[in-house]
Amino acid sequence: MSMEMTAMSQMWRSMHTDPEGERRSFSRATARRILGFARPYRRALIIFAFLSVLSAVLTVATPLLAGQVVDAIVEKKSDSLVIGLAIAIAVIAVADAVLGVINRMMSSRIGEGLIFQLRTAVYDHVQRQPVAFFMRTRTGALVSRLNNDVIGAQRAFATVLSGVVSNVVTLVLTLAVMITLSWQVTLLALVLLPLFVVPARKVGGRLADMQREAAGHNAAMGTQMTERFSAPGATLVKLFGRPEAESAEFSARAGRVRDIGVRSAIAQWMFVSALTLVSALALALVYGLGGYLALHDHMQPGAVVTLALLLTRLYAPLTALASARVDVMSALVSFERVFEVLDLEPLIREPADPRPLPAGALGVEFENVHFAYPAADKVSLASLEDVATLDTRGGVEILHGVSFSVEPGRMVALVGTSGAGKSTLATLIPRLYDVDCGSVKVGGVDVREVSFTDLRGALGMVTQDGHLFHETIRSNLMLASPDATEDEVWDSLRRARLFDLVDSLADGLDTVVGERGYRLSGGERQRLTIARLLLAKPRVVILDEATAHLDSTSEAAVQEALGEALAGRTAIVIAHRLSTIRAADEILVVEGGRIVERGTHSALLAAGGRYTELYRTQFADDAAPAA
């Protein structure tokens, strides 16, 4: 590697190195965990290190043979010797190339294997986190752990490991050979070393500062584009935003990145030009002093050429090793950031010895349930929330001793003002959260004693937002039942009153619904989530304002489909529309985290209590068309 290329490599590492990595230390426990991840690649790593050493030996051998060629020419030795040395140089070049390919293959297998192992471990672990984790965590920061930090950890096994081993061997062999040939020239070359290493570190540091500033602006522009280019964000900007101000803000950031790019390019050019001059001066000194010694018979001419060639192999490993500690520590920082996520224990865990749910229809029972949403330090990380420290205060209790039961095959409606605790009650059944006190039972079994698989198979839930993935209609439906047949899929659409719509689409079931389903209307999107519920065929159904976004016609169609789907099944409905409430076997009025009234629609109206007030304020407009 030339000194110019070494300089550029040094600057690149400085610009992409964690500034905190050099100042951090790591425990033995962290080292042991890293070795644990490396254990499957132990044999490959040993072979990889050996091949790196062999490649370093070949790197030093070529200049020695080149010097012998020069001596053979000067001394007028036989043609066969010169040709033999040339062939040896060619063989070494081929062997070095082959070793390079093998090393690259092994490095890729080790590195990519480690990336696969870490990514799948983090992804699986994150999936086990409770909903509260995702409500607090920045999605971009979490994705960064799966991408940037995992790749940074991979560098510890591939680039850094091979670089340190090969550079140490190359440096030792090069210095040994150079001192053997001429200690005077070697000393002169080392005197010029600070002119190469010091500027590389200092200019690299300044470029790193500019790079980090540019990265900050790029991240801000990325966030702005992500928020403004989504369907809800674009709608909000068009309705209430100021396009001129948005454009000016984006333009200012883009302009700053442009200016930094120009300054960085000029600094890099000046830096490389200066180091090219240092390289030329070093070679001039070698040729000058070496030539003088050769003219006075203190040195062979070939040795001068050998020293000149070895000089380029001396500066490269010295410069690389000067920043090796930063490289190693930066790679290990990535490991710690990955381990930080893996060490966050899920608040909701699979039971060690799960109990099966009984066959047939299932009842639901809440028994003296108390609940408070968990504090941040229980479910999140400061680094994933972009805060200095997490809020350690305990959560405020939302539910206060709630008790009620839903008999198998019956429907219970929950009504109340916003924030009363209705949706919170619904999330406790599928264990999106766990109760702090009391119990929630399905089929007489505490949900905390049921496996996640059994619980998901028994419960079906439709939320108010009706979330869909940016995939096809078929993929969104079969999320509930991967083994569903084509006829079952179409039957669920027919019962959700979507058959005609999907059948009229050019791509039918293969139509992509768009991000969050925004290519569909609100009513169509919600009916598609209900079709997904129908396809799942759960024994307990939870509807959280499932018909809130439907017009009267769509609501009537969906209510008819739900009436058929809920027959013989237990249903808990968080009500908004009068039509939903009137069909319930029992209505529970929730206020302030407590059940304040319960009964049928007519009985509660006759009582003249809180339900009557809600009816008059929230449901009166629905009474006329219902009548």
* Percent of the chain topping pLDDT 90: 12
Q: Is the pLDDT of residue 627 over 60?
A: no
In a shared domain, residues 315 and 377: no
10 and 61 both lie in a single domain? yes
Same domain, 73 and 221: yes
Q: Give CA–CA dist 40/606, Å, rounded.
A: 72
- Residue 591 gets the label, from left (phi > 0), alpha (psi -120 to 50) or beta, of beta
Place of tokens 């000016």: 248
What confidence tens digit (pLDDT) does each residue in 289-338 have?
888 888 887 788 888 888 888 877 776 677 667 666 666 666 677 777 88
CATH number at residue 542: 3.40.50.300
Order of all β-strands in the sheet with 397-406: 397-406, 364-372, 437-442, 445-446
Ramachandran bin of 484, using left for φ above 0, alpha for ψ from -120 to 50, beta for the remaining angles: beta
Query: Which of 280, 312, 342 represents a domain boundary (last residue)?
Result: 342
Residue 615 lies in a domain: yes
What DSSP state is assigned to residue 145? I
If asked whether residues 325 and 371 sit together in one domain, one would say no
Q: Which two structure tokens, joined as six digits, stand for 347?
A: 């608040």
| pLDDT value of position 444 | 92
Q: If pLDDT is split at 50, 70 and 90, which confidence band does 57 have?
A: confident
Identify whether residues 324 and 401 lie together within a single domain.
no
Burial 101-118 (b: 16+ CB within 10 A, else e): eebeebbeebbebbbeeb
- What is the pLDDT at residue 554? 64
Work out how many domains the chain is built from and give that number: 2
Label residues 78-87 b or e (16+ Cβ within 10 Å = b): eeeeeeebee
Any idea what DSSP says for residue 589?
E
User: Which CATH number covers residue 211?
Assistant: 1.20.1560.10
pLDDT at 248: 84
Q: How confident is the model at residue 27 (pLDDT cuts 50, 70, 90)?
A: low
Q: What is the pLDDT of residue 319?
A: 65
| 3-class secondary structure, 573 | strand
Strand partners, 371: 399
Clarify whether residues 19 and 160 are in a common domain: yes
Q: Say what the pLDDT of residue 369 is.
A: 95
pLDDT tens, 372-424?
988 877 777 777 776 656 666 667 888 999 999 999 989 899 988 888 889 89
Residue 296 CB: number of other CB atoms within 10 A? Answer: 8
Is the pLDDT reported for residue 90 higher than 60?
yes
The 10s digit of each residue's pLDDT in 135-145 is: 777 776 777 77
Domain assignment present for residue 288? The answer is: yes
Residues in the chain: 627
Residues 558-610 pLDDT 10s: 676 666 667 678 989 887 665 567 778 899 999 999 999 999 888 988 898 88
In a domain, 603, yes or no: yes
Q: Which helix (H) or strand (E) holds 440?
A: strand 437-442
% helix / strand / coil in the chain, to the nearest 5? 65, 10, 25
Which domain range does residue 553 map to?
364-385+394-626
Tokens 């264990």 sit at which residue? 431
CB 418 within 8 A of CB 426: no
**What is the average per-residue pLDDT within 32-43?**
79
The verdict on 378 and 326 lying in the same domain is: no
Q: What 3-state class would DSSP assign to 262?
A: helix
Asked if residue 352 is part of any domain, the answer here is no
512 beta partners: 472
Please check whether residue 230 is in contact with residue 515, taking contact to mean a CB–CB distance below 8 angstroms. yes
Residue 591 to residue 425: CA distance in whole angstroms: 12
Average pLDDT along the chain: 78
* Two tokens, residue 390: 């997490």
Q: Stretch 44-68: mean pLDDT, rounded?
A: 83
Q: Are 295 and 371 members of one domain?
A: no
- Per-residue pLDDT at 126 exceeds 90: no
What is the model's pLDDT at position 208?
61
Does 17 lie in the same domain as 99? yes
Give yes or no for residue 619 having a pLDDT over 60: no
Cα–Cα–Cα angle for 211, 215, 217, nearest 5°?
120
Q: Are residues 318 and 372 in the same domain?
A: no
Q: Which two tokens stand for residue 228?
A: 């403004």
Consecutive H or E run containing 91: helix 79-127
- Quote the pLDDT of residue 561: 64
Alpha-carbon distance 266 to 201, whole Å? 17
Instruction: Tell me which DSSP letter residue 433 carries.
Output: S
Same domain as 327, residue 373: no
Model confidence pLDDT, tens digit, residues 205-226: 676 667 667 766 776 777 677 6
Lowest mean pLDDT among 90-99, 175-184, 214-223: 214-223
Asked whether residue 353 is assigned to any structural domain, the reply reads: no
DSSP at 148: I
**What percent of the chain shows pLDDT beyond 70?**
77
- The domain boundary, picked from 308, 342, 376, lies at 342
> Is 72 contained in some domain?
yes
- Quick one: DSSP state of residue 472? B
Report yes or no on 359 lying in a domain. no
Residue 1 pLDDT exceeds 60: no
pLDDT per position as a tens digit, 230-276 = 666 776 676 666 777 778 888 888 888 888 888 878 877 776 676 66
Residues 285 and 372 in one domain: no
pLDDT at site 623 = 43
Bridge pairing between strands 437-442 and 586-591: unpaired
Rounded to the nearest 10°, the torsion over CA 205, 209, 215, 216 is 150
pTM: 0.70
Report the pLDDT averaged over residues 345-371: 90
**Any domain includes 25:** yes
Q: What is the pLDDT of residue 7?
A: 46
pLDDT of residue 366: 95
